Amino acid sequence: MASRRALQIGGATVGVGAVYYLYSAGGNPSVAEKKLEHDVSAAGARLKGQDTSTKEAQKKAEVVAKEAGATLDRTVDTVRGEVRQADRVITAKMHEAGSKLDQLKDDGSKKFDSAYKDTSKELQQTADTFDKTVNQKTAEAKSGISSWLGFGGK
C-alpha cells in the first residue's frame, strides 16, 4: 500500500510540474518542454558540480534574439505601412495643390483679361471724348477766325 501511495504522490507531483511548465510558457507546449529540459539539465549539472552558465547564457541569448527579431520585424512592417499611408496622403495633397494652382491661374488670367478689356474700353471712350472735344473746339475756333476775317456765312 505504501508503494501505491508513493506512486500517487509521484504522479500528482508530475501533473503539478506539467501544469507549472505549461503555465509559465504561456500555454505553449514546445516552450514548456524546452524550459523543462533546461531546468533538468541545470539541475543535473548542479548535482555533478558543473558550471552551465555559458550554456544558459547562450540559450537565453538565442531566445532574446528571436524575440527581438520578431519585434523588429513587426516594427519594420508597421513603419512601412505608415510610410505607404503618408505617401498616399502626400500624393493626394500634391494633386489637390496642383488643381488649386491651375484654378488660381485660370482665375487670374480671367481677371487680367477682364481688367484689360475694361481699361481698353475706358481708354477708347476717353480718346473718343478727347477727339470730339478737339473737333468741337477746332470748329469753334475756325468759326471765330472766319467771322473775324469776314468769311463767316450766317
The shares of helix, strand and coil residues in the chain, as percent rounded to the nearest 5, are: 90, 0, 10
Cα-to-chain-centroid distance, residue 83: 6
Q: How many Å apart are CA 138 and CA 140, to the nearest integer?
A: 5
| pLDDT digits 0-9 by tens, 47-74 | 665 555 667 778 888 888 888 888 888 9
Q: How many Å apart are CA 83 and CA 87, to the nearest integer?
A: 6
| pLDDT digits 0-9 by tens, 5-26 | 776 776 667 666 666 766 676 7
- Per-residue pLDDT at 11: 63
What type of residue sits at position 41? Answer: S
For residue 28, what is the DSSP state?
-
